[in-house]
Structure 1
Amino acid sequence: METWMMVIIASVFPTPTMPNAAGPTNAQLRTHLADIRARIETLELELAALRVSELSVSATLDSIVYPVLTLPVEITREIFLHYAGPPIQQYPSQSNPNPLPLAAVCKLWRTLALSCSQLWPALRGRPSSDPEALLNLLQSRLSRVGNHNFRINMPLPLYTLGDKILPILAPYFAQLRSLQLAVSGPVCFPKDAGHMVPLSALEALAIDGLHDREGEISFPPCPKLHDVWLCRLTQISLPWSQLTFLGLRGQSLGDCLNILGQTSQLMTLNISSESDVMPPTTPLRLQHLRSLWTLTAPIIDHLILPALQELKIQELMETVTWMVHNLVSRSGCTLRQVCLQFPMSLADTERFILPLQKLKGLSLMGLHCNFADWDPFLQQIADGKLLPDLEMFLLNDVHTDIPIKSMLAMLDARGNPPKGIARLQSFRYSHWQPPSDDTHSHRAADHIRKLRERGMTVELGWGPLWFRENIDVGSHTHHTKLIIGNDSYFG
């Protein structure tokens, strides 16, 4: 650097020559000044060229260290949208990623994220206990959605902030696709010319009715609504006849049946009513119901379900086997998937599934049985004498060791079955506690590896709830969780 400076100084201010006795003439001075100016112009051109080169080298270096920052804005936006896109089909209950971390990476990403309205299609989580914080969050999110549809997967507390929340939501009523509310008492929805503003895009609704609620809730028109969750709530006007999915929690059995009597198009029902005794009634016919998930087995006695294919029961009753068999008999339905989430013996399990030979999927949890009982049970499945159409088999949170040799023999037989017997595609087993030694859990490793190579999904696990199904799918907690339609019964 010092050498360059010396060269520049020497070029601009050359070593003066000894003046002649008469001194330089005016012509000589003008010539010398012109020469200095020419040299200055040349050096300025060289400096400009060096600055251009500096910027080019700096940009190249930045692209090597942070290549993502050099992407065109359009491509970066597409990556953002892919990141925050809808859940993949195999896991419909999975929540979309939160776009906020994208906005926290750098100034450029923050600008892009906040300007991309498609990134903000949903407001999810639990509402803040601070009313101002909740209202500010709602306003800031809605201000970014533009003309896109929007989902609110957070229970908005209308029982305390309804007079402030609804005016904020009103301009976006035509863009709301799903909505969660917590209510208590009357709700004053926005009106236009004396009529409630319709929720024209609403497809899914979850409402938690808190205590001390009085009177019926008049809900705005919602012509596209097809999925509804109601908790501790019955007095509400909804387009029941167009629903295809309904979840009910905390209502009496009689109230549940009154609601179900209006749901002519229902295809999926997730229900847990209060335990009460009802006299025998004429069974209610739900012509299109294909999937029933119930925490309360007595509802089964009051239904006729000719299209039923999937059944999940989470309440153990002595009469549950008899109730299910009667349901199948009077409905004329063919069950294809059954999930029992309560402990049973193998003998009771066999008695339960014996008339259900068309089952393709069976999920059992918490089995209690003797070690010796496994061999004949697994042998019947291996031979196809029991469940010849079985393709998915889940033994979850088992309380008794299963004979590894018998299990592998069953998997071998059903992995390459004779004609007329279905091929088992998926088998999962979990034991309630870890094995006493490592050899127990690794004994079948090579054998299972070969089964997997042949295309069978085989998963073994030890430890509590290692393969327990996600019981929160479609279930109600203190803050209502809205899952739209696709309950996953088998993993």
Structure 2
Amino acid sequence: MLNTLEVDRIQFAELDAQILHLEHQLAELQSKRAVVKARLDASKYPVLTIPSEIISEIFLHFLPPYPQCPPLTGVDSPTTLTHICSVWREIALSTPQLWRAITVADIDSGRLHIAEAWLSQSGCHPLSLLVHDRIGDDVERQILRAALISQRARFENLISICSESQADLSILDGPMPLLHHLELDMWSRGVSVTQEIAPLLRSAVLSDTACVLAQLPWKQLTSLTLQWGLGMEFVTILQQTPNLLRCVLLVTSAGGPPLPEVRLPLLGSLTLGTELEMTEERMFFSLITPALHTLRVSEQCLGEDPVESLSSFISRSACRLNKLCIIHHEDGPLRSLEQYQFALPTISNISARSESDAETDDGMSHG
């Protein structure tokens, strides 16, 4: 019994000694940790020293240039910026310009709440909207319509794609005092936007059906794109647009009697195209553009003798072209670039591009 107690006393003393040794080691480690922590606390990460207003500006450059609309979700959405850290989240949510360009498409209940949040977070800034009529069930349509109508006074750029016969266009039925640019792609329902509704409207892009169904304050427009419609439909509109400075016409019609004359006294830039396998020179021959300085035209729009057609057009319009781009088929132009340059020596910049290259510019696409 005494031997056992003696062993325990010895072991107890050894354990005390080990504990004391470990406590000394822990104290030394804590001292070293305090020194390292002090150095870390004294250090400042450069990104955390940037003023909030500069970070806000950096965030704005993360997005596509306004008025392009980023997606509501995903890595290209401004919501990504709210997932980095609490500081950046606060900055992002307090930067209303991040939320002013909104894509409203493929809406379900979740995306609907996101769109409503963006409308709120954008504050009082003008809005750029891409609205697709396929937005879920009737309840979601009604909620979204009410949300958009409540913000209609802030519409600045609006792209409306209405591919359903019962598409709701009521968001366009009231005052839009800031609206500057409007794009309409409609299938079967008309819309009327008057000068009183949109006094600042200056730019419009219309699909083939929209050319027939839309009524706009044509006289106040300075930029107009008409896509894949009939020549006579274009003439009807262009005869009401004397203040155009820029125009893109993509024509589908071919053949028939000459089109009525269209005089566009202020037009400086014109793009005229047609479908790949189609020849449509009537639209080109109908235009009188005395202020034109830049022309991009498909060779199929110039008739059997493109060089002569251009010479006649310049003479008829009495314009002073300084830039001409000929758009041709993939298998090559009907005339060489040298022929154009020789016949039109007063034009300082003459170039040629294939149809596929031109599709990326000025709406020259078949979509």
The TM-score bracket by the shorter chain reads 0.7 to 0.9
Match of 2:254 in 1: 276
Q: What residue ranges of structure 2 are gaps of 5+ in the alignment?
A: 1-18, 275-279
- Out of 11, 35, 42, the residue aligned to residue 60 of structure 1 is 42
Residue 143 of structure 1 pairs with residue 120 of structure 2: yes
Aligned to 2:266: 288
* TM-score, normalised via structure 2 length: 0.74
Structure 1: where are the runs of 5+ without partners? Answer: 10-46, 367-396, 398-464, 479-491
Match of 1:189 among 152, 170, 177: 170
The equivalent residue for 1:323 is 309
Question: What are the Cα deviations for residues 71-129 of structure 1, in whole angstroms up to 9, with x where unaligned?
Answer: 34344334324544847xxxx999897534433322321222122112223125x833x
Which of the residues 197, 203, 206 maps onto 1:230? 206
TM-fit CA distance, 1:238: 1.0
- Structure 1 residue 339, shift from structure 2 partner: 1.1
Match of 1:356 in 2: 344
2:360 alignment partner, one of 443, 466, 471: 471
Distance 1:341-1:70 versus aligned 2 partners, 3 A rule:
same
* Alignment of structure 1 residues 90-169 onto 2, 5 Å: 98-124=77-103, 127-128=105-106, 130-152=107-129, 154-157=130-133, 163-169=142-148
TM-score normalized by structure 1?
Answer: 0.57
Distance 1:94 1:208 in 2: 17
CA–CA separation in structure 2 for the residues paired with 1:345 and 1:474: 21
1:335/1:356 contact within 8 Å kept = no
Deviation at 1:197, TM superposition (A): 2.3
Q: Are the counterparts in 1 of residues 327 and 358 from structure 2 also a CA contact under 8 Å?
A: no
**Contact 1:159–1:182 (8 Å) recurs in 2:** no
Question: Using a 3 Å threshold, how does the CA distance of structure 1 residues 159 and 52 change in structure 2: closer, same or farther?
Answer: closer
AA in 2 matched with 1:231: S
Q: Report the Cα distance in structure 2 between the residues aligned to 1:345 and 1:83, rounded to whole angstroms.
A: 41
Mark the structure with the bigger radius of gyration: 1
Matched AA of 1:57: R
1:172 shift after superposition:
1.5
Separation in 1 of the partners of 2:336 and 2:353? 13
Native 8 Å contact 2:314 2:320 kept in 1: yes
Q: Residues 359 and 365 of structure 2 are in contact (CA less than 8 Å); yes or no, is this contact kept in structure 1?
A: no
Residue 218 in 1 paired to residue 192 in 2? yes
**CA RMSD, Structure 1 to Structure 2 (Å):** 3.7
Q: Which amino acid aligns with 1:332?
A: A
Residue 272 of structure 1, CA deviation: 1.0
The CA deviation string for residues 130-187 of structure 1, in whole angstroms up to 9 with x for no partner, is: 54354334223212101111212x3422697764433221121121210111125574
Paired residue total? 324
| Cα distance change of structure 1 residues 122 and 8 upon mapping to structure 2, 3 Å threshold | closer
CA deviation map 1:240-269 (0-9, x unaligned): 111111111122111110011111100111
The percentage of aligned residue pairs carrying the same residue is 27
Aligned partners of 1:324 and 1:307: how far apart in 2?
15
| Closer, same or farther: CA 52–7 of 1 in aligned 2, 3 Å | closer
Q: Deviations over 1:360-405 (max 9, x none)?
A: 3222135xxxxxxxxxxxxxxxxxxxxxxxxxxxxxx9xxxxxxxx
1:260 aligned residue: 238
TM-superposed deviation, 1:188: 4.7
